[in-house]
Amino acid sequence: MELEVFADVFSALYQGDDKTVEFIKKEIPDVYRAFMKIIGE
């Protein structure tokens, strides 16, 4: 399950537009921060 979430967030951030990225940051900030920590940003 966690790997699927990671893959979905990665895909959305990599291929998404600015609105998608802002949505992720606003609606699921904990997931966004954890993702960014994992990838080293």
> Mind listing the pLDDT tens digit of every residue in the chain (41 residues)?
778 888 888 898 889 888 988 999 999 999 899 989 988 87
Instruction: Tell which phi-psi region holds residue 40, choosing left (phi > 0), alpha (psi between -120 and 50) or beta.
Output: left
Q: Answer whether 0.85 is exceeded by the pTM.
A: no
- Asked if residues 32 and 24 have their Cβ atoms less than 8 Å apart, the reply is yes
The pLDDT value recorded for residue 37 is 93
